[in-house]
Amino acid sequence: MILFFERDTDMPLYIYMTDLLEFVVGDQKLSINIIQFFMMYLSRVSINDGNQDVYGFLDPYYINPIEAKKSKTKSYITYTMSTEGKQIYLCPYINEGHWQLLVLSPVYKTAVWFCSLHKKPSTHLKNIIDVSWLGYNILKGRSSSNYQKLTWLNLKCNRQSKGYECGYYVMQWMITIVRTGIKTNWEKFFMDESPVPLPAIECVRHVWATYFLNFYNSRIANQ
């Protein structure tokens, strides 16, 4: 079974049976499609809360290491930030099967890094983000010698206790940011190294499943 979902991008989203099975089982690493669909939900939450000008989302497909080797990744990040003008961008990032979260803030000139294994961002990723940030500033009329570089903040956030939870941690962090309206003071909200409680992960799973079923049923009803 393949389910097709239209998005506000030039690339549609497909949810495959394998994606659903790994989500239902609950003890496997999540596919990029599961994370992308959750970002559709968060975008809707942001709009409903009146924060459509605050939170933006960078598609993990375009910034994963395979795609990041291509120059279009930098263009994608620069173009998105320049045209959308959000205060905060949530950027799930998967590297060697491990999900991490990058939060970019053009307004506060910060790059906040979340990793449930407390790994630092790779030099390759940092270079991509820094070059994209330079391009963004040039498009804003600032010279390459007269702009403020990003401040990188590596958080000692929740640390996973098992080998598959990273995708759920990323979803939990993102939903906390969007629902709480967090834009600054990251250490205040996320400097907790204990594992994310199981009820919180189950709540995220319930939110994803509910949104998926509602989305799917609405499509069926409109056919």
pLDDT for res 210: 93
pLDDT for res 1: 46
pLDDT for res 70: 60
Domain 2-222 matching CATH 3.40.395.10: the answer reads yes
Question: What type of residue sits at position 159?
Answer: R
**Residue 94 CB burial class (10 angstroms; 0-12, 13-18, ≥19):** buried
Read off the pTM: 0.91
Task: Tally helices (H) and strands (E) across the chain.
Answer: 9, 7
How many Cα atoms occupy the beta-carbon half-sphere of 98 within 13 Å?
16
Tokens of 204: 């995220």
DSSP category for residue 137: H
pLDDT (tens digit, 0 to 9) for every residue of the chain, 223 residues total?
455 555 555 566 778 888 888 888 888 889 999 999 999 999 999 999 999 999 999 999 888 776 656 668 888 999 999 999 999 999 999 998 899 999 999 999 999 999 999 999 988 889 999 999 999 999 988 888 888 999 999 999 999 988 889 999 999 999 999 999 999 999 999 999 999 999 999 999 999 999 988 877 876 666 5
CA dist., res. 171 & res. 138, Å (int):
32
pLDDT for res 83: 93
Tokens of 155: 């958080």
